[in-house]
C-alpha cells in the first residue's frame, strides 16, 4: 500500500500531461488499484491512460523530438509503452489515420 500511496501522491502533484513516465506511472497505479479492489478509481485511471495513449499515438514525433541524441531509443520507448499500456485497456485505441 505504501508504493501505491507514494505513486498516487506523485501523480497528483503533476499535471497529467502525456509523457512516457506519466503513462507508465498511471499503468502501475491502475494495476495496484485493481488488485486492491478499488474498481472506481481504476476506471478513472483507465480513462486517463486511454487519453494519454491516444495523444501519444497522434503525436509521437513531438515526444521523440525532445530526446536530442537518444531519438531511436525514445521512439522505441514510446512504441513499447503504447503497446504495454494498450494491453491493459479493454479495447485498444484506434490508430490515427494518416492521409
Would you kindly state where each structural domain of the chain is located, as residue ranges? 1-88
pLDDT for 30 equals 87
Cβ 75 vs Cβ 63: under 8 Å: no
State pLDDT tens for residues 41-80.
888 888 888 888 888 888 878 778 877 788 888 888 888 8
Place 94 in a pLDDT band, splitting at 50, 70 and 90: low
Cβ 15 vs Cβ 4: under 8 Å: no
The residue whose grid cell reads 525532445 is 66
Record the pTM: 0.69
Amino acid at each position: 500500500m505504501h508504493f501505491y500511496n507514494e505513486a498516487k501522491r506523485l501523480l497528483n502533484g503533476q499535471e497529467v500531461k502525456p509523457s512516457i513516465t506519466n503513462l507508465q506511472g498511471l499503468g502501475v497505479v491502475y494495476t495496484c488499484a485493481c488488485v486492491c479492489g478499488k474498481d472506481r478509481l481504476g476506471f478513472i485511471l483507465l480513462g486517463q491512460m486511454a487519453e494519454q495513449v491516444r495523444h501519444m499515438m497522434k503525436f509521437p514525433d513531438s515526444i521523440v523530438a525532445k530526446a536530442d541524441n537518444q531519438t531511436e531509443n525514445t521512439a522505441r520507448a514510446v512504441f513499447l509503452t503504447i503497446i504495454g499500456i494498450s494491453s491493459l485497456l479493454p479495447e485498444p485505441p484506434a490508430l490515427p489515420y494518416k492521409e
